[in-house]
Amino acid sequence: MTGWRHPTLGSEIDRTKPLRAKVDWEVIDGFQGDTLASALLASGPRTIARSFKYHRPRGVMGFGAEEPNALFDVTRNGTTTPNARATLVPLTDGLKARAVNAQPTAQKDRARWLDLLHRAIPAGFYYKTFIAGGWHLYEPRIRKMAGLGQLDPTTTPHADTPIRHARCDTLVIGGGVAGLMAARTALETGGTVWLIEQSRHLGGTLRWRGGEVDGQAWPDFVEDTRKAILASGGRILINTNAWGAFDHGLIAAYQRYVTDIHWQIRPLNTVLATGATERPLWPAGNDIPGVILAEAAHHYLMLYGAVVGRRILLATGSDASYATAAALAEAGADVTLADRRAKTPPAPEGVLLLKSQQLQSVQGRTEMFGATFNDTFLTADTLLMSGGWTPSVQLHCQSGGKLDWDADKDALVPRPGTGHMRVVGAANGTFGLAATLIEAGLPPQTGPDWHWETARPNPLIKGRVWIDFQNDVTLKDVTLAAREGFTSVEHLKRYTTLGMATDQGRTSNFAGLAAMSEATDRTIPETGTTTFRPPVQPIPFTVIAGRRRGDLFNPLKRLTLEGQHKSRGAQFREYGGWLRPSAYGDDERSSAQTEAKVARETVGIYDASPLGKLDVIGPGAAALLDFAFYTRLSTLKPGRARYALMLRENGIVFDDGVVMRVAEDHYVVSASSSHAEAVRFVLEDPRQDRFDPGRVAIHDVTQAWTTLTVTGPRAKALLDAAGLPVDCPAMGLTRSTWNDMPVRIARISLTGDISFEVSVPTSDGAALHAALEAARIKVGGHWIGLEAVMILRAEKGYIVVGKDTDGSTMPHDLGWGGPRLKRSDAYLGKQSLFTEAATALDRRQLIGLESAEVLATGAHLVPLDGPRRSLGFVTSSYMSPNLNRPIALAMVEAGHGSEVGIFHDGTVTRARVTPACAFDPKGERL
């Protein structure tokens, strides 16, 4: 319990509102405005986490997205977020947090003995060890031990994060002084300015370091800029993390806590002002709890009054840390500044300053008690490190930007003109307030010098030096990788897992790179950098999925008459993207049998509205359809309909349906329900690319019409009773008005019985339904679902494209060889029908099957004698209530005998080959 709460400091906490949370079952007190990390620092134990591989004790180290240690599974308002970074989680009352990767708690972790084995498990240990005997032997146990947080199955995560698309003239990412200055400049040139800030407050380092901007106290500057952005019509998104930069300037950002929104913003200009991350230092034992980044300590002190320790050592090489030391001393801590440099500014008041101090090691086990500089041990409970700064250039690199090594700044900085963003402030290598304001165009001013004396991991140091804290990569692992030849940074990363953790190597990538360059005697630019990929910070999968799950994952098309069908007892299923009645009644299977029987005996009515209806209109319509269909349609007389097949250029059957010629220059193409959209584009293609698009137009009017089909021997009687015209020949259509509404009746049949497709404008659908229902009660009959319709059409051997055909079925395989032999004009797919494969004698043909039992759809047809091989497969199979026997359709190689074997579930049964049409083969019922 080394951290403590200062009695007065803390600009962002409200001491009148105390909060209580539970971390690893221990009570943690804090205030409104605290983050989980600041509350832990101010009141909690030091060991709050365990490291990933060695299960070493760890404490809070940073204050933002760079935090490598303080990961928790956080439960708030009934929702558990795994692997939440304590530094970014606002403290709320009743919040529960569990340390990840530790059982039962971080303090008493049962797996802490693993650290004793560290010599036996260096980098690459898995690759070298678990290959013997096969990885699957070890995988279950290792998987159980590996990984970080756990999802809590008893709580449901948010899955309702909506995506919002937005555009603005200028998007500024980062609400620190550089970002605010960029916003101010953009406002001067006009246009809307949006600003994204990851924390809850604007101001960045100004909030803890203070300062003046352009003659204004910083809070006034921040407030004025905030107001100006809002006044221009812009927006400020706080608690928002810009997680990815994509093509054409798209920025994805996740806004949390108050509102959950997944933003997709397309700005004209983007300014990147994401600042920089402080580098740690690399003494032995630099991961012991109590070792913290210097800027983090400053931040916690000023914003939350959370003081990181009582006896504090601050190891630095830059003037920038002097303000930190001064603030901590003023707050009452005992502060010793240990500067790497010989030439330093004067010691701040109350601070002991030591010069030319080389930090060698940190002493302690579960908590540090001192550190050694220049072979001299100094007692302390806290060590603050400042090893320099690494610009946060992830989004710049994601947008295609390159980096240059700037030796003067000791950092990789964005190369101007390579990404599509303008990078400013610390992200651009402009460190400190004074330099940032000069960069933003304000006159020169004075401030602390942020240059630092270069610090690098020293391979000669004895003991274990942590490079990547989150993935437990030590300096020895990096030099091992170098020795074993993994010298490319991309190999180094994969071999040691350096920088692959959820902190994305913010504190470690640079150190790893520097260590590798040293181990291989190369410069840093020669060593290169790894690729930055989205997300910049971890975001939940539920955010990426957004509302696209459950019913909204793939929303179904709904019938206008869904309510009416429901009230008649319909059950619904999805058919080709439409939610349609499968049967009317509780038991789908037996209802379908009853319905199929009734439809043959009296009359059945079904909703055929999803059937595609494409109006093809104009003097060029006949020529277009002749080309687009396998079946000739220009010879069709107005008022008549014809069954037609549509092929693609490869000769494969793409769709089938009835084409009606309403008038000389007006056709209606009925496409399969699931295919209407696609068929439209098969027609659009030649319309735009081959014919004169001025002479023919295509309109998809599927949703404009409600179609109810009346089928069965008493269909005429039912239509009569409803007052509908029935004077229509088979394969003909009539158009008239009925009760003042336009009605189109087509006598075309999918069932083999007399059928009338009655279509009215969708707005009149309910009236038609009511009239047919009233007539049905008089005449008898039944509403029938799609399952019954499927039985009826299979009895007749009518195919469903895609079910009874596959990606190799040509029209002559289905018995429609006529046009292929007769048509001499050009049509889609013609050339493909005469290739060697298309004319082969063993092509699969559509047949019917007669068997004792209902066959399994998909079962293979096999020869009864000789070696077993597939001759084809069952495509549709039903119990026929009208024939009182199982029926099936199948595709089978030509040359089969009159009997075939049906191979299913390891056994072969026999089936007799019949024509596809099993019911009323002469078509006398039509």
What is the rounded CA–CA span in Å between residue 616 and residue 632?
15
Closer residue to another protein (CB): 355 or 533: 533
β pairing state of 71-76 and 96-99: antiparallel
Q: Does the footprint of another protein cover residue 839 (CB under 8 A)?
A: no
What is the rounded CA–CA span in Å between residue 237 and residue 214?
25
Which residues, 669 to 688, sit near another protein by CB under 8 A?
680-681, 684-685, 688
The stretches of 732-850 forming alpha helices (DSSP H) are: 765-779, 786-795, 818-822
CB 355, min distance to another protein, A: 53
Closer residue to another protein (CB): 832 or 857: 832
- Per CB under 8 A, the list member of 227, 246, 638, 741 interacting with another protein is 246
Closer residue to another protein (CB): 350 or 693: 693
Closer residue to another protein (CB): 460 or 821: 821
Closer residue to another protein (CB): 376 or 688: 688
For 138, other C-beta atoms within 10 Å of its C-beta total 15
Q: Does the footprint of another protein cover residue 836 (CB under 8 A)?
A: yes
What is the rounded CA–CA span in Å between residue 578 and residue 555?
9
Q: Does the footprint of another protein cover residue 248 (CB under 8 A)?
A: yes
Q: Does the footprint of another protein cover residue 649 (CB under 8 A)?
A: yes
CB 264, min distance to another protein, A: 8
CB 808, min distance to another protein, A: 14
Q: Does the footprint of another protein cover residue 418 (CB under 8 A)?
A: no
Which residues, 593 to 632, sit near another protein by CB under 8 A?
none
Stretch that binds another protein, among 47-55, 149-157, 240-248, 437-445 (CB under 8 A): 240-248
Q: Does the footprint of another protein cover residue 832 (CB under 8 A)?
A: yes
Closer residue to another protein (CB): 722 or 838: 838
CB 522, min distance to another protein, A: 30
Closer residue to another protein (CB): 431 or 827: 827
The SS3 call for residue 643 is strand
What is the rounded CA–CA span in Å between residue 886 and residue 900?
16
Cβ-count burial of 398 within 10 angstroms (0-12 exposed, 13-18 middle, 19+ buried)? buried
Closer residue to another protein (CB): 406 or 685: 685
**Per-residue contact string for residues 187-226; x = within reach of another protein by CB under 8 A:** ----------------------------------------
Q: Does the footprint of another protein cover residue 259 (CB under 8 A)?
A: no
What is the rounded CA–CA span in Å between residue 374 and residue 307?
27
The DSSP H or E segment spanning 911 is strand 907-914
CB 685, min distance to another protein, A: 7
Residue 914: partners with Cβ closer than 8 Å, 6 or more residues away:
847, 848, 849, 850
Closer residue to another protein (CB): 108 or 648: 648
Is 869:863 a contact under the CB 8 Å cutoff? yes
What is the rounded CA–CA span in Å between residue 902 and residue 893?
14
CB 650, min distance to another protein, A: 6
Closer residue to another protein (CB): 129 or 831: 831
Closer residue to another protein (CB): 661 or 680: 680
Closer residue to another protein (CB): 154 or 824: 824
Residue 27 bridge partners (DSSP): 22
Is 425:436 a contact under the CB 8 Å cutoff? yes
Closer residue to another protein (CB): 248 or 922: 248
Which residues, 686 to 745, sit near another protein by CB under 8 A?
688-690, 693, 698
Is 453:302 a contact under the CB 8 Å cutoff? no
The candidate with the shortest Cα–Cα distance to 310, out of 381, 369, 383, is: 381
Instruction: Give the start-end residues of each E strand in 602-751.
Output: 604-607, 612-617, 640-647, 653-663, 666-671, 697-700, 705-711, 733-738, 741-746
What is the rounded CA–CA span in Å between residue 47 and residue 412?
33
Q: Does the footprint of another protein cover residue 462 (CB under 8 A)?
A: no
DSSP 732: B
Q: What are the structure tokens assigned to 849, written together?
A: 């099957």
Q: What are the structure tokens assigned to 44, written together?
A: 């909690």
Closer residue to another protein (CB): 626 or 684: 684
Report how far apart, in Å, the C-alpha atoms of 28 and of each of 97, 310, 424 are: 10, 20, 39
Is 797:889 a contact under the CB 8 Å cutoff? yes
**Per-residue contact string for residues 260-299; x = within reach of another protein by CB under 8 A:** ------x---------------------------------
493 backbone dihedrals φ, ψ, rounded to 5°: -60, -45
Closer residue to another protein (CB): 647 or 847: 647
What is the rounded CA–CA span in Å between residue 448 and residue 451?
9
The candidate with the shortest Cα–Cα distance to 756, out of 728, 784, 735, is: 728
CB 533, min distance to another protein, A: 16
| Size of interface with another protein, in residues (CB under 8 A) | 21
CB 165, min distance to another protein, A: 9
CB 247, min distance to another protein, A: 4
For 450, other C-beta atoms within 10 Å of its C-beta total 21
CB 839, min distance to another protein, A: 11
Q: Does the footprint of another protein cover residue 247 (CB under 8 A)?
A: yes
What is the rounded CA–CA span in Å between residue 79 and residue 94?
12
Q: Does the footprint of another protein cover residue 520 (CB under 8 A)?
A: no
Q: Does the footprint of another protein cover residue 135 (CB under 8 A)?
A: no
Q: Does the footprint of another protein cover residue 831 (CB under 8 A)?
A: yes
CB 354, min distance to another protein, A: 54
Q: What are the structure tokens assigned to 419, written together?
A: 């990404």
The candidate with the shortest Cα–Cα distance to 213, out of 224, 204, 221, is: 221
CB 578, min distance to another protein, A: 19
Stretch that binds another protein, among 226-234, 597-605, 705-713, 831-839 (CB under 8 A): 831-839
The SS3 call for residue 557 is strand
Residue 324: partners with Cβ closer than 8 Å, 6 or more residues away:
294, 295, 297, 298, 314, 384, 386
Closer residue to another protein (CB): 763 or 835: 835
DSSP 226: H
CB 714, min distance to another protein, A: 42
Is 279:390 a contact under the CB 8 Å cutoff? yes
Closer residue to another protein (CB): 698 or 784: 698
CB 161, min distance to another protein, A: 18
SS3 content of the chain, % helix, strand, coil (to 5): 25, 30, 45
The candidate with the shortest Cα–Cα distance to 38, out of 174, 232, 200, is: 200
CB 703, min distance to another protein, A: 16
CB 826, min distance to another protein, A: 6
What is the rounded CA–CA span in Å between residue 860 and residue 890?
9
Closer residue to another protein (CB): 122 or 693: 693
* Residue found under tokens 């302690």: 364
Q: Does the footprint of another protein cover residue 650 (CB under 8 A)?
A: yes
CB 693, min distance to another protein, A: 8
CB 621, min distance to another protein, A: 16
How large is the greatest C-alpha to C-alpha distance in the chain, in angstroms?
110
**Per-residue contact string for residues 800-829; x = within reach of another protein by CB under 8 A:** --------------------------x---
Q: Does the footprint of another protein cover residue 590 (CB under 8 A)?
A: no
Binding site for another protein (CB under 8 A): 246-248, 250, 266, 649-650, 680-681, 684-685, 688-690, 693, 698, 826, 831-832, 835-836
